Amino acid sequence: MVAGSIFSGKTTIFIKNNFHSNANSLYVHCRSKDDDIGEHWLDVGQTIAWSFHENAWSTTLFHCYAQWGNQKKYFNAYEYEGTTKNCCVDKGRVTWVLEENGLRAIETNPEKKPQDQDEELTKLNWD
């Protein structure tokens, strides 16, 4: 979906609505300097995803705004130097799980062995 450097592996970002109630849809809007992923309203259990290559200068940044009822948060869904630093090399994935008690970024690797655990990269509180 998003163009970038041919020298880096592809990274995929997932954002999942993991709230326990459908009282409100989760609103999510993510973008980078060059690409707008769009506005999405996710029901419980729904996920959005997009893939990209890190740019040649290693400055790729995707930032998002999320809102569920009165819970709101601006966060960086991907940044080479930051909350997702050193993750996602060669086919890596970051899954953001948004739920009542906050947001968690988890690095997931589709090639991992069953006994391997996903690594939690960061946890954020709602504003």
- pLDDT tens figures, 6-50: 445 678 899 999 999 878 889 999 999 989 999 999 999 999 999
Q: pLDDT tens, 67-98? A: 999 999 999 998 876 555 555 544 468 899 99
CA atoms within a 13 Å half-sphere pointing along the CA-CB vector of 80: 13
CB 11 within 8 A of CB 54: yes
Q: Which CATH architecture has domain 10-124?
A: Sandwich (2.60)
State the burial class of residue 22 (Cβ atoms within 10 Å of its Cβ: 0-12, 13-18, 19+).
exposed
pLDDT of residue 84: 58
> In which band, very low, low, confident or very high, does the pLDDT at 115 lie, cut at 50, 70 and 90?
low
Strand partners, 14: 49, 95
Q: What would the two tokens of residue 71 be?
A: 């819970």
Q: Which residue has the tokens 């959005």?
A: 48
Region 97-106: mean pLDDT is 93
C-alpha closest to that of 127 among 95, 98, 84, 85: 98
Measured in residues, the chain has a length of 127
